[in-house]
Structure 1
């Protein structure tokens, strides 16, 4: 083939990739961009386009590398800086993102989108610096400043009411129906649910051991990401949480989807109602930095007109356990495993989880890591945590006398995937993620004593016409294509 024919074929692949991207077939688009790069790796457009595809796939570390390559090929290529800036923003790395966006404005002066994103970054950095300046070694409890009983419930309020001192099933059912009808729960009852949930979760260890009696079961769900109507569908298919029908929700309850308030209050309410009927684990999106970027912070403020309530939720998120062990056989964690061998369950129990997730260490890796199909450890495609192979999984299980790892954190076309010779399962419970991906959702049921996984998959259900990330800062939402 001549150089001209090779470039023509690469261009054709790029056009096919663009079409796949527009159809939200991001994995296929990435494959096509990769083939174009293999034919002509000197074209910065192919690298920048693949970078944006990796942003859509939430593989921000890989996106940064691709965008950096585009910049190396053309120092004045605006989209290279723009894509890398978007990836840095997605990771909450505001300073790095700000630097790239300022470079965009140097190349294309007064670009309105870049200027708007610069303002967002500058405001975020100022706020972080302020928070650091006023921080002290002692943890300030927002919950301790809120007395929910002092809030007056107006006569005009027609929604669900808690009768007496504690929640009951009738209240929770009415609240769920109100949410389905797009009604708000009164802040008095929202704060009561939050207070009771905080007390319950704070009393738990960082690693919770769950016992399922013989012939009984537990259902494990992955990411929900604010898709409340799909959560209702799970309950419709599999029954409401109860002591006889327990659930484990494995993190990432909020962000992205625009019904995160409804999701988290429902899950917390069931936790209050049935402490042994529902278990909740922390995901990487149960953190302040993610909530400010991906919409939950803005959603809470929009629905409850409060700057304090997002801080209250953040305090509760810091109380969420990091992992669960089911019948001493199944290890359930949101992200994955570790950068070092010989991590024991006792090490996980000893983690001080009552803080924002750090950028490294065991807690970070549990929330952010992903498996890869090979052996050993590799840098994370997300830019946080690591990627671990089947030998890492096998060694962890062997050292801790376990049979299986169940994790979430990644979209899967069928809602779940079995990897690492069947020793690792990914389960993801947000179908048609962000109204774009077209994936199924899934949940996994384990029946004692054999504790073998039984999978149920499902499609998305209709929801009100509120787009994903509707409450996120516009600069971030547009960076991710919303």
Structure 2
């Protein structure tokens, strides 16, 4: 068994790695991520996964169905120093390691994560949505992503925005970051960039996935029974080499295979 395999097995048992091991892994991850584009090219076949929100046991179930040689990570709104300080990761690192070093190693990686992916030049994948400051994929490619998520601007919008049926054009987001955007915005973006549809996450949908605007954008949510109380199913989207779609819907991992849920459920901000 390689050193990396041993570390994976250790993590599967929810045993913390040594601080020095975390540092080495984070540095290795940076070496890989720094080479990636803001719009990372991805070849099919591929499986698209949405939010996990720290539900580790469901993540283990989820990645049994992945293509093992095709993992591309893109940044979400929670890959942020500010958000992880508020919602538990900072505290968890401090509790388990007695210092904030591990939190710093991990959050430094966030700055290297790609902002989006483009599958076979036809499917645009982004965590949140679109931005009034972005019309083309080339504009995304010019963003300096190696920074904490800004409070506004194009990079912020890509990670925070949401599609909304009742909005015509652009609207204010109740999240306090990003925008709401309507069908005309999606139609224009898809036409300008010659893509078939947008695939994003960011919003809980009870059925696991949801199409909007005549199948021009789809939300994929991959955390079942979110917060162990929402009762939703989750989904992943599998694309074959010809981009034929198959959604796989699944329920939460069995209760006897998981630990106790967090004592403090996240607020509606997450939704």
TM-score, normalising length: structure 2: 0.91
Match of 2:43 among 211, 215, 219: 211
TM-superposed deviation, 1:188: 2.7
Seen in structure 2, the aligned counterparts of structure 1 residues 479 and 203 have a Cα distance that, compared at 3 Å, is closer
**1:78-117 equivalent positions in 2, closer than 5 A:** none
Instruction: Give the match for residue 143 of structure 2.
Output: 351
**1:221-232 equivalent positions in 2, closer than 5 A:** 221-232=49-60
Q: Structure 1: state its 5+ residue gaps.
A: 1-159, 247-277, 471-476
Count of residues paired in the alignment = 265
Seen in structure 2, the aligned counterparts of structure 1 residues 399 and 220 have a Cα distance that, compared at 3 Å, is same
Distance in 1 separating the partners of 2:268 and 2:185:
35
Paired residue secondary structure (2:111): helix
Instruction: Give the match for residue 457 of structure 1.
Output: 249
Match of 2:194 among 385, 401, 404: 401
**1:46-57 equivalent positions in 2, closer than 5 A:** none
Instruction: Give the match for residue 202 of structure 1.
Output: 34
Distance in 2 separating the partners of 1:176 and 1:432:
25
Cα shift readout 1:77-120 (whole Å, capped 9, x = no counterpart): xxxxxxxxxxxxxxxxxxxxxxxxxxxxxxxxxxxxxxxxxxxx
Kindly indicate which of the two structures has a greater share of residues assigned to strand: 2
Match of 1:234 among 37, 45, 62: 62
Distance in 1 separating the partners of 2:101 and 2:187:
44
Is 1:369 matched up with 2:187? Answer: no
Match of 1:360 among 138, 149, 152: 152
Instruction: Give the match for residue 43 of structure 1.
Output: none
Cα shift readout 1:123-180 (whole Å, capped 9, x = no counterpart): xxxxxxxxxxxxxxxxxxxxxxxxxxxxxxxxxxxxx972xxxx4xxx1xx4344333
Match of 1:191 among 19, 23, 27: 23
Instruction: Give the match for residue 89 of structure 2.
Output: 296
Seen in structure 2, the aligned counterparts of structure 1 residues 308 and 425 have a Cα distance that, compared at 3 Å, is same
Distance in 2 separating the partners of 1:444 and 1:428:
10
Distance in 2 separating the partners of 1:452 and 1:392:
25
Cα shift readout 1:45-101 (whole Å, capped 9, x = no counterpart): xxxxxxxxxxxxxxxxxxxxxxxxxxxxxxxxxxxxxxxxxxxxxxxxxxxxxxxxx
**1:407-446 equivalent positions in 2, closer than 5 A:** 407-446=200-239
TM-superposed deviation, 1:289: 0.7
Cα shift readout 1:325-359 (whole Å, capped 9, x = no counterpart): 0000000000001125x611110000001111112
Paired residue secondary structure (1:332): strand
CA contact (8 A) 2:126 2:159 kept: yes
CA contact (8 A) 2:227 2:261 kept: no
TM-superposed deviation, 1:478: 8.7
CA contact (8 A) 1:161 1:189 kept: no
Q: Structure 2: state its 5+ residue gaps.
A: none
Distance in 1 separating the partners of 2:239 and 2:36:
22
Distance in 2 separating the partners of 1:219 and 1:296:
27
Kindly indicate which of the two structures has a greater share of residues assigned to helix: 1
Distance in 2 separating the partners of 1:392 and 1:405:
12
Paired residue secondary structure (1:193): helix
Q: CA RMSD in A?
A: 2.0
When Rg is computed on C-alpha atoms for both structures, the one with the higher figure is 1
Is 1:317 matched up with 2:145? Answer: no
TM-superposed deviation, 1:469: 5.2
Cα shift readout 1:241-281 (whole Å, capped 9, x = no counterpart): 422xx2xxxxxxxxxxxxxxxxxxxxxxxxxxxxxxx1000
TM-superposed deviation, 1:381: 2.1
